[in-house]
Structures are given as structure tokens and as C-alpha cells.
Amino acid sequence: MTTTTESLPRRALLAATSPAPRAALWRTGLLATAVWLALGALVLKWPNKEVGFSDWAYTDEFGYAALAAAALLAVLSLGGRLTERATELLRPAGQWLVVLPLLIGVWEILTAKLGVLPTPFFAPPQSLIEVYAEDWPRLGLSTAHSLRLLAHGFASGAVVGFLVGVWIGWSRIAGYWVHPALRFLGPVPASALLPLAFFFAPSSYAAAVFLIGLATFFPVAVLTWSGVAAVNKSYYDVARTLGASESFLVLRVAIPAALPQVFVGLFMGLGAAFSVLVTAEMMGVKAGLGWYLQWSQGWAAYSNMYAALIVMAALCSGLITLLFKVRDRALSWQKGTVKW
């Protein structure tokens, strides 16, 4: 016993004086470094195929950006414990960091280097840099207008759909009268009501908000109704035994139990809202990403169109990620009972 207790301080001393373990080498990062380096060399050393009487702008900047990405990945891969935290954040995306420059390289070869894909329908990656560098005021203003329109339409449709879904799921009378109408009119595409919306709405913006809200309303209402109707009846019996009122049963039992289904409806509604957003902005609205896409197609500026599509995809992905964060926060109580 004495020997064991005397050896404890010695073990602690050895642990304190021993060198810290070195961080493992990030091999995937080194592979990504090599691929990004090859992409930069390809862009800078292989001459572009001339388009008419001009060359593609921002080619050198594109090549130097690829070399900068390779240098950054090299530092992160070889930095050891100094860059361990940043490396841990990038490790899940390591394979994408390898595949992405390969895809961009194939795109660059087929467009700028060989001209296999005809212009102006297909543009090289550096043309997108030109759009973002020179047309960012118009593209940024269009993105802001789309965000405002999407926020108004999605919020209104989600709130109304949630209230109607709770009403149908809780009230037998509402379920009898409203549910058949919802099933009959809900599957009708919101874009099919475009002429009626523009006829009855006081402005084109109000019509666009109505269409986006209508596209969001149906999945939120249906899945909220399904969640409320599927709540275990024993929950209500226990709450009534403890003296719960009708409002308590709705607000503190039915709605929390239906929240997983509600969030599924919100995800579906957000996707439907984005699909209607483009259609609504192409009809009468004077700003927005849909308007920008139509303007680009009218002037055969396909690089601008691709740049707007990338912005729209990034915007949709960011909003879905934000909605996932809200869901994880609201449903944190599920983590111990449901596989997350």
C-alpha cells in the first residue's frame, strides 16, 4: 500500500514533464494541397483558348487563388498542434477539399482551355469571379430583395399553416369542415394561381408574398395537423387528472409533442418557397434573384445566371442549416430518447 501511494507523485511528475503528444499528420489535407496546387498550375501555365478577340478575364487571379488555397491547406496539414483546432473543423470536409478542385479543373479544361463546351452557354470558373467582382452591387441588391420577399412569404405561410394545423388537429369541427378543403386545394401548385394572385393583389410584391406563403402553408398545415392528431391520448388523460385546462392541453401538451412533425413541414415549406420564389420574381417584381436570372437570360449573360444560381443555392443551404440549428435547440429534450 505504501509503495502504491509513493508511486503516485512520481507518476504525476512524469506526466507533467513528459512532452505533449504530437498532433497526427492530416494526410487528406496534404492530398488536397497537391490537387489545389495542380489546379493553380493548370490555370496559370495552360493558355486559354481565345474567345473572339478577347481572353477570359480574371484567369491569373483564379490561378493565384488556387495556389493560396493550396498554401493554406499545407499550413493546416503540417502545423501540428498550432493548427489542430482549425484542422479538426475541416477534417469532415477533407474528401470534398480533394474532389472540388478536380471538378473545377475538369470544368476549366472543357471551357477555357479547350473550348469543348460552347460559349456563351458555358462559361469557365473565372467568369464567375468576374461577375462577383464587377456586378456585385446588382447581384447583392437582388439577393437582399429575395431575402426580404422570402422572409415575408415564408413567415406568413408558416404562421398561418401552423395555426390552421393545430386547429384542425385539435377541433373535430375544424377537422370535419376544413380538412377536406385543405386536401382538395392543397396539392394545387402555387404557381398555377399566379394570374389570380396578380389580379386580386394590390401590388406585384403582395402577389409574390401570397404565392410564397401559399406554397409554405400547405406542408406546414398538413404535418402540424398530423403531429397534433398523433399525440398519445394518455398524455391528455394524465394532464386532465392533474387539473389541466383546455388551453394548457393545447399549448403545453399537443404543440410540444407535435413539434418534430412541425419542423418537417417547415423544411418542406422552405423548399417549396424557394421554388416559387423564382417564378414569382420573374413576373412583375423589379428586383430579386429571379428577376436577375431573367435579366441575365435576356442579355445572354450566362455567367451572370450561373453566379446567381450559386448564390441562390448557398442561400437555401444556409437557411436550411439555420433551421436545423433552431430545430436542435427547440427539440433538445429529444436527444436522450430519440436517436439524433
CATH number at residue 186: 1.10.3720.10
φ, ψ for residue 56 (rounded to 5)?
-70, 130
245 DSSP assignment: -
pLDDT score for 61: 94
What does the pLDDT look like over 151-186, one tens digit per residue? 999 999 999 999 999 999 888 888 788 878 887 777
* Residue 144 sits in the same domain as residue 175: yes
Tens-digit pLDDT string for the chain (340 aa): 444 444 555 555 444 455 545 556 788 999 999 999 999 999 999 998 876 545 788 999 999 999 999 999 999 888 877 788 888 888 889 899 999 999 999 999 999 999 898 877 888 999 999 999 999 999 999 999 999 999 999 999 999 999 999 999 888 888 788 878 887 777 777 777 777 777 777 888 888 888 899 999 999 999 999 889 888 888 787 888 888 788 888 888 888 889 999 999 999 999 999 888 888 887 767 788 888 988 888 888 889 999 999 999 999 999 999 999 999 888 887 665 444 4
* Residue 254 sits in the same domain as residue 280: yes
- State which residues form the domain around 81: 21-122
Among residues 311, 227, 316, the alpha carbon closest in space to that of 270 is found at 316
Contact 66, 36 (CB under 8 A): yes
287 DSSP assignment: S
Q: Give 165-186 as a 3 state SS string.
A: HHHHHHCHHHHHHHHHHHHHHC
Residue 275 lies in a domain: yes
Which residues are within 8 A (CB) of 7 and not within 5 positions of it... i.e. 6 or more apart?
none
C-alpha cell at 219: 406542408
Contact 181, 217 (CB under 8 A): no
pLDDT score for 11: 56
pLDDT score for 191: 75
* Residue 151 sits in the same domain as residue 115: no
Please report, for residues 260, 262, 307, the alpha-carbon distance to residue 289 in angstroms, rounded to integers and kept in the order given. 31, 28, 10
* Residue 312 sits in the same domain as residue 217: yes
Q: What does pTM read for this prediction? A: 0.80
Three-state secondary-structure class, residue 55: coil
φ, ψ for residue 141 (rounded to 5)?
-65, -40
* Residue 309 sits in the same domain as residue 196: yes
Task: Kindly write down the DSSP assignment for every residue of 61-117, as one continuous string.
Answer: HHHHHHHHHHHHHHHHHH-GGGGHHHHHHHGGGHHHHHHHHHHHHHHHIIIIIS--S
